[in-house]
Homo-oligomer: A and B are copies of this chain.
């Protein structure tokens, strides 16, 4: 029988708070497993990189993030050791991921999450799974994380994710027939570029995050549940 009980649930009145669950777990054990995520907000990557100086533009960007989200995403902090790299990353993401013609924000995040789940990237699944929950609801978010095939998607989104995942796993087998499947599902050639661009981008960030053990802001875990 599943472990959770009503009582335990009742003891957690602030479900997004990152404190260890104590009800029903022996204190000693709980102590060992203090995976509160708090450390992920302090030590963001496994690399010791000398902190850099932010340009006014990037400082303003960080401030804006903080105002809108309540925090600065750790990936940005990870890039902040070098303002030039940070700026280029932000611009690239803006131009190549967010500046799509027809893909919706939700669809972009669905691709990001399904690709990241394929690469089992802790940072990116956490951040983009959250975004899907925000935009498409909590259950859709979980499906993108666990197995996108479990979602009963419109033909369009299913074709989109099939393409993105094949491109992730076996890019060398992507051929005209794969593009034609997207076209038959209603996508234009520009859409194909956008889908490819988004899927390719997260194949990059997944690897940058995995290579450096980048840790997601702990606040993501509890949002939009």
Contacts and interface: CB of A to CB of B under 8 A. Distances in A.
Interface in A11-61: 12, 14-22, 24-26, 29-30, 32-37, 39-40, 46-49
Q: Which among A8, A37, A136, A207 has the greatest number of chain B C-beta atoms within 10 A?
A: A207
Contact of A21 (B119, B137, B146, B222): B137
A200 B205 contact: yes
Given A36-B137, A223-B15, A131 B2 contact: yes
What is the size category of the interface that chain A forms with chain B? Answer: 35 or more
A51 to B, nearest CB: 12
A161 interface: no
A92 B146 CA distance: 26
Given A88-B95, A174-B210, A224-B15, A120 B139 contact: no
Given A47-B189, A135-B25, A189-B47, A70 B15 contact: yes
Interface string A114-150: 0001011110011100110111111110110111011
Contact of A135 (B3, B173, B175): B3
Interface string A185-225: 00001101101110111011111101111000011011111
A85 B69 contact: no
A46 B176 contact: yes
B16 A224 contact: yes
B136 A33 contact: yes
20 contacts: A1-B65, A1-B93, A1-B98, A2-B131, A4-B137, A9-B224, A12-B223, A12-B224, A21-B135, A25-B104, A25-B135, A35-B139, A48-B189, A82-B95, A87-B95, A88-B88, A89-B95, A125-B146, A176-B213, A200-B206
Given A33-B136, A167-B210, A195-B211, 7 more contacts: A2-B127, A25-B105, A47-B190, A49-B190, A122-B146, A126-B146, A192-B212
